[in-house]
Structure formats: structure tokens, C-alpha cells
Structure 1
Amino acid sequence: MKIGIDSYCYHRLFGEVYAGQNPPAQQLTFEDFLTKTQTLSIDGVSLESCFIPQFDAAYLQGIKRHLDQNGLDRVYAWGHPDGLEGGKNEQAFEEMIEHIAYASQIGAPVMRVVGSSLMFRFEPHEPQLEKLTRMFSEATKVAEQYGVKLAVENHIDYNSDEILQLIKGVNSPYFGVNFDSGNFLRVLDDPIQAMEKLAPYVLATHIKDLKPVKGVPVNAWYFFSCVPTGEGLIPNEKLAEILHRHDYQGFLAVEVDFLHPDYTDQEEEVVKQSIQALRNLTQNL
């Protein structure tokens, strides 16, 4: 099975520093990141649009050329941090539609999209899901014209039953899920049970491993913080087995958001260790 990373692993180095994190000694440019991908022994990359500095055709063609030359599969990731805000943000919807063309220009067959976030998690979900079903149904028609599939991420917002409801509501082969293993745990949904439900619809992944942080309130989203794959609570080997059984054609993308205090400022090491761990656990699939 193919292994990759999401560029969000380096969000702190890109300049997005969470409260409680240390600013980096030196920031990473998007061009630096593209160069870094050549050293990581990966098969694919998910590119967060929030870190892409410009979207003119020449620049996007340059990204495509770099990825093609290095033989990298790719996902274009739109929606950080709050996406469509549970269906309330029409301006974000128009932006999402615009980015479908950008995904096509870099040669991405899949575009990760975000319907909501933890900011709207405790508002009523049914009205959100109704609005999002309409929005994603319309967006999927546009995406199909470009040959791009949309993959909605569970973004510390909805559980697997709600994501499945959304997918079935849109009811299109051009709409599926960007399965984030850690974010299901963060809404107290079993990632294995979630994968059993959603595997036929998985178009992209975020593979996290998490463990609790002592002294952090249980209701804080980063109570479960990122550790290297294999050192946390998530049985990612089982997740990979289920995906393999369902003939998943994408890559397993390592993602790191809030590092566990045991690994403060160690994004580089955590990413490399996680890539190798995924290689090891998938080698017999």
C-alpha cells in the first residue's frame, strides 16, 4: 500500500503556531516543503491549500511538474480550518468551487473538503447535514466536470454514522470520505467500527496516532495528541487491512496536528518515524 504525508504535518513550521506551541526557529516555505518531499521516501502528498502561496496557472503548473517528476500521487486539500462552517458560509462554498479547478490543474484526482469543524460541533447536526448535503451535491456536479472526486474529512465534527449519512445523501461516485483516524477517536467514535462502515467510500486518508496528555481537560480537542504511528491508541494496521480488503487505491497520508508534549518541536522525527512504521505494518498487505 502506498504511503504519503499531508503538508499539515509542518503547520508550525509554515507559521501556524497553536497556543502552547513554540514558534519555529526557522519557517518553512512551500517550495522548501516540495523539496523536502524528495527526501522522505513517500509515494504521495496531500497539499493543504492554506499553505500554497499563489494560485495562478503558471504556479500551479509548476507544482504539478514537480510532483510528476518525483512520481508522487497527490490530493488537493481545501477547507482549513472551518470549511463550510456547518453549511453556514456561502462565501466559503464559492471558494471551494473555485479550488476544484486548482485541484485539477495540479493533477489531483481527489480534493479533500471540509464541511465543519470543532468550532460548530455542539450546534445541532441535522440542520448542518441537510445544508451540507445540498452544498456538496452541487459542488460534486462541478467536480465531475473536472474529473475530480471530493472527499469530505471528519474534522472533529461528525461521527461515522453522520459522515455516512452525508455520503449517501449526496449519492455520487464523485463524493466520498477523507478518513481521519484520529479525528474519529476525538469524537469518541471507534476508528475500526468507523472504517468498517466507510471503507467503500474512502478516497483519501489522514493517518494519525494519538495518546492522552496528562493534565489536559478531557473535553479539550488536543487531550488526544499526536505521537509517532505505533506509539498511540489507534490500531492503524487494522485500518490498513480493512482498506486493502476494499481495494483502496489511494495512499496512507501521515498527518500531525498537535504534537504530544513528549515530542515537542519534533515534527521532522515524528513524520519520518511514522512513515517507516506505516511501511512496516503494510508490507504484507
Structure 2
Amino acid sequence: MKIGIDSYCYHRLFGEVYDIQERPEKEITFEEFLDKATSLKVDGLSLESCFIPKFNDEYLRGIKSSLDNQNYDRVYAWGHPDGLEGGSNEKAFDEMIEHIEYADKIGAKVMRVVGSSHPFRFEPHGPQLEKLTEMFTKAVAVSQKYGIKLAIENHIDYNSDEILQLIQQVDSPYFGVNFDSGNFLRVLDDPIQAMEKLAPHVFATHIKDLKPTTSQPANQWCYFACVPTGEGLVNNQKLAQILSDHQYEGFLAVEVDFLHPDYKNQEEEVVAQSVQTLRKLTESITVTR
């Protein structure tokens, strides 16, 4: 199984610094991120659109050329931080449609999308899912013209039953899941049970490992903080095995958001260690076809 990283691993270094984090001495450019990925010798990249500095044709062609030269699998990731805001943001919908073309220009066949996020988690979900079904049905009609699959991420908003409901209601082979192993835990949904429900629909992944931290209140999303793969609560080996059993063709993308205080400002080391652990982890997967 292929291993990759999501560019959000380096959000602090890109300049997106949470209130509870320290600003880096020097910010990195998108090109410097690509160099870091090359040094890790990964198979795929998930590229957050919020860190792509320009969207003109020339720049996007340059990104595609760089990815092609490294033979990277790729996912174009749209929607940070709040995506469609539970279906309430029509302007964001128009932006998402626009970014389908950008995804095509860098050669991505999967585009991660965000329907909501944790600020909207405690609002009624029924009306949100109804509106999101309408929005994603329209979006899929566009994306399939480009041969691009849309993959909704559980963005600390919906549980696996609700994600599955949304997939079934959109009812398209071009609409599935960007499975975030940590974010299901953050909504107190068992990641293994979630994967057993959603594995046939997974187009992309965010592989997180989390453990609680006493530095944040238990009712905050960052209470479950990121640690290197294999050192937290998430059984990512079991998740990878379930994906393999369902003939998953994408890559396992390491993602780090809020680092556990034990690893303060060590995102580069945590990412490198996680990539190495995932490589070892996947060696033990039983492949059945």
C-alpha cells in the first residue's frame, strides 16, 4: 500500500498558526514543501488548496510537472477550514466548483471536499445533510465531466452513519470519502467501526494518531492531539488492512494538525517518523484479491 503526506502537516510552517502554538522562525514556501516531500520519498501528496499561492494556468502546470516528475499519486484538497459550513455557504459552493478545474489542471483524479466543520457540529444535522446532499449532487455533475471523484472528509462534524447517509443520498460513483482516522475519534465514533462501514466508499485518507492532552479542555477538538503514528489510540494497521481487503487504490496520507505538547514544534520529525512507521505497518498487511 502506498504512503503519502498531506501538506496540512506543515500548516504552522506555512504560517497558519493556532492561538495555542508558537510562530515559526521562518515560514516555508509551497516549493519548499515539495522539497520536503521529495526527501521523505513518499508515493503521494494531498495538496491543501489554502497553501497553493497562485491558481493561474502557468503555476498549476508547474505543480503538475513537479508531481509528474516524482510520479506522485495526488489528491487536491479543498475546503479548509469550514468548507460549505453545513450547507449554508453558497459562495463557498461556487468556490468549490471553481477548484474542480484547478484539481484537473494539476492532474488530480480525487478532490477532498469539506461539507462542514466543528464550529457547526452542534447545530441540527438533518437540515445540514439535506442541503449538502443537494450541493454535492450538483458538484458531482461537474466533477465527473473531468473524471474527478469528490471525497468528503469527516471534518470533526459528522459521524460515520451520517457520512454514509450522505454518500447514499448523493448516490454517485464519483462521490465518496476522504477517511480521516483521527477526526472520527474526535466525534467519539470508533474509527474501526467507521472504516468497516465506509471502506467501499473511501477514495482518499488522512492518517492521524491521537492521544489526549491535559493542556486543552476535554470539550475542545484539540483535546485529542496528534502524535507519531503508532504512539496513540488509533489502530491504523487495522484500518489499513480493512482498506486493503476492499481493494483501496489510493495512498495512506499522514496528516498532523494540532501537535501533542510532548512534540511541540516537531512536526517535521513527527511526519518523518509516521511515514517510516506506516511503511513498516503496511508490510504486515495481508493482500487478498
Quickly name the TM-score band, shorter chain normalised.
Answer: over 0.9
Alignment of 1:1-285 (within 5 A): 1-285=1-285
Secondary structure at the counterpart of residue 204 of structure 1: strand
| Cα distance in 2 between the residues matched to 1:23 and 1:44 | 28
Superimposed CA distance per residue, residues 108-141 of structure 1 (whole angstroms, 9 cap, x where no aligned partner)? 0000000000010000000000000000000001
Q: Once superposed, what is the RMSD of the aligned Cα atoms? A: 0.5
Relative to the length of structure 2, the TM-score reads 0.98
TM-score (norm 1): 0.99
Shift of 1:19: 1.0
Residue 284 of structure 1 and its aligned partner are, at CA, apart by 2.7
SS in 1 for 2:63: helix
d(CA) in 2 for partners of 1:192, 1:218: 22
Q: Find the residue that maps to 2:144 and give its secondary structure.
A: helix
Contact 2:206 2:253 in 1 (8 A): yes
| Aligned residue type for 2:73 | D
Q: Which digits, 9 at most, give the CA deviation of each residue in 1:129-178, with x for residues without a partner? A: 00000000000010000110000000000000000000000000000000
- Matched residues in 1 for 2:284 and 2:12: separation? 34
CA positional deviation for 1:218: 1.0
Shift, 1:33, TM fit: 0.7
Please report how far the alpha carbon of residue 275 of structure 1 lies from its aligned counterpart in structure 2 after TM superposition.
0.2
Tell me by how many angstroms 1:215 deviates: 4.2
Runs of 4+ in structure 1 off by over 2 angstroms are: none
| SS in structure 2 of the partner of residue 211 of structure 1 | strand
Give SS of 1:192's match.
Answer: helix
Shift of 1:216: 2.3
Partner Cα separation in structure 1 for residue 119 and residue 216 of structure 2: 18
Q: 1:5-63 CA deviation, whole Å, 9 max, x = no partner?
A: 00000000000000110000110111111122110120000000000000011110100
Q: CA deviation at 1:251?
A: 0.2
Aligned residues: 285
What SS is found at the alignment partner of 2:34? helix
Which SS does the other structure have where 1:279 is aligned? helix
Deviations 1:180-219 (A, max 9, x none): 0000000000000000000000000000000000242211
Q: Distance in 2 between matches of 1:201 and 1:74?
A: 18
Question: Which deviates the most, 99-108 or 29-38?
Answer: 29-38
AA of the residue aligned to 2:14? F
What is the distance in 2 between the residues matched to 1:105 and 1:271?
27
Q: Which amino acid aligns with 2:5?
A: I
Q: Percent identity?
A: 73
